[in-house]
Amino acid sequence: MAKNEIAENSARGRFITFEGGEGSGKSTQIRLLAERLDAEKLRVVVTREPGGSPGAEIIRHLVLSGMGKLLGPEAETMLFAAARDDHVQTVIAPALAQGMWVLCDRFADSTRAYQGKVGQVDTRLLDGLERVTIGDLKPDLTVILDLPVETGIMRAAARRGADAPDRFESEQVDFHQKLCDAYREIALNEPQRCMLIDAAGTPEEVAEKVWAAVQGRLLPLHSNEASPA
């Protein structure tokens, strides 16, 4: 089934993306949400970007090593898009077509925020790449985890331990603040799709807010579909 057909198919699964700055707790919250959806007997696929498919994982290695940066902002953006194209075609679209719930750690908003708002890559290039890579297959819900920049950097550094920071973790505080502002703007511009969530509490406190968003926006719809006639 083509991507746009899957997007319009009401029996398809649900597509939830998680966005936010470095160390904002996306992986942690995806794990907790997956457990709750699992308890609801829903079939869940957890995936991430860049990466998530064998082809895209190769590109992940390239961009996070800093190689992509050497090629310039536009080429680096196209690398993220190439990874997304493979990921959507081979993992996300097939899972949604089979009725699964796809939880994705970062997606197109990361390109909008990192490469677009912060990296100043032309919006027309981003629009064109999105048309090709995702078409109408937009997330049903995007959870944007909002955290003071310093807290995010501290959390990411604590988790990394003695390992070297990656290409984006090594950027300055100003970069991360711009990123945070970019995500707030995305949430403001697309309130139907996006939910900005304060990520400063404990993992469990944040998970309650995420669960409220999922229940409020997606689960009633699912329950209606699943209930017997």
Q: Kindly state the tokens that stand for 74.
A: 């536009």
Question: Which one of the spans 2-10, 21-29, 92-100, 190-198 is the region binding ligand T5A (CB under 6 A)?
Answer: 21-29
Q: Kindly state the tokens that stand for 159.
A: 């988790």
Q: Is 27 in the site for ligand T5A (CB under 6 A)?
A: yes
Q: Is 118 in the site for ligand T5A (CB under 6 A)?
A: no
Q: Is 26 in the site for ligand T5A (CB under 6 A)?
A: yes
User: In degrees, to the nearest 5, what angle opens at C-alpha 195 toward C-alphas 47 and 74?
Assistant: 60
In the region spanning residues 151 to 210, those forming contacts with ligand T5A, defined by CB under 6 A, are: 155-156, 158-159, 166, 168, 202-203, 206
State which of residues 32, 47, 50, 102 lies at the interface with ligand T5A (CB under 6 A). 50
Q: Is 52 in the site for ligand T5A (CB under 6 A)?
A: no
Question: Which one of the spans 8-16, 18-26, 126-134, 217-225 is the region binding ligand T5A (CB under 6 A)?
Answer: 18-26
In the region spanning residues 98 to 117, those forming contacts with ligand T5A, defined by CB under 6 A, are: 105-106, 110-111, 114-115
Q: Smallest distance, Å, CB 25 to ligand T5A?
A: 3
Q: Is 12 in the site for ligand T5A (CB under 6 A)?
A: no
Looking at the Cβ atoms of 8 and 174, the one nearer to ligand T5A is 174
- Backbone φ and ψ of 44, nearest 5°: -120, 140
State which of residues 14, 16, 17, 22 lies at the interface with ligand T5A (CB under 6 A). 22
Q: Smallest distance, Å, CB 110 to ligand T5A?
A: 3
How would you write the chain as a 3-class SS string? CCHHHHHHCCCCCCEEEEEECCCCCHHHHHHHHHHHHHHCCCCEEEEECCCCCHHHHHHHHHHHCCHHHHCCHHHHHHHHHHHHHHHHHHHHHHHHHCCCEEEEECCHHHHHHHHHHHCCCCHHHHHHHHHHHCCCCCCCEEEEEECCHHHHHHHHHHHHCCCCCCCCCCCCHHHHHHHHHHHHHHHHHCCCCEEEEECCCCHHHHHHHHHHHHHHHCHHHHHHHHCCC
Looking at the Cβ atoms of 12 and 155, the one nearer to ligand T5A is 155
The site for ligand T5A (CB under 6 A) is made up of: 20, 22-28, 48-50, 80, 105-106, 110-111, 114-115, 155-156, 158-159, 166, 168, 202-203, 206
